Amino acid sequence: MNADEQKIEIEAQAIIETLKEQRNSALDQVVMLNAALNALKKKVAELENPAASTRPSASVKRLHDDKHEESAAD
């Protein structure tokens, strides 16, 4: 292997390592985004069905109470 081939091999290995690092970083981001998506799905489900939630948030409780007050006023 001559000097030019060695230089190309070293550069190729550096590029491969960079790509591996970028892939790992992208995979980490996918994991974090998936966790955020799951949290949002859970929150949407709680907002759509407050009775199914073990502890509805204060805003959900207010919305629920407001609906009951409106029903009682009718």
Q: List the pLDDT tens digit at each of the 74 positions of the chain.
A: 899 999 999 999 999 999 999 999 999 999 999 999 999 999 999 999 987 655 555 666 677 777 666 666 65
pLDDT at 22: 98
Q: The whole model's pTM is what?
A: 0.55
For residue 51, the model assigns a pLDDT of: 78
Angle at 17 between CA 1 and CA 12, to 5 degrees: 30
- Residue 10: alpha-carbon gap to chain centroid: 37
**Residue 58 corresponds to which tokens in the numbers above?**
């204060």
| Per-residue pLDDT at 72 | 63
Q: What is the pLDDT of residue 2?
A: 94
Please name the residues in contact with 46: beta carbons below 8 A apart, sequence gap of 6 or more. Answer: 52, 53, 56, 57, 60
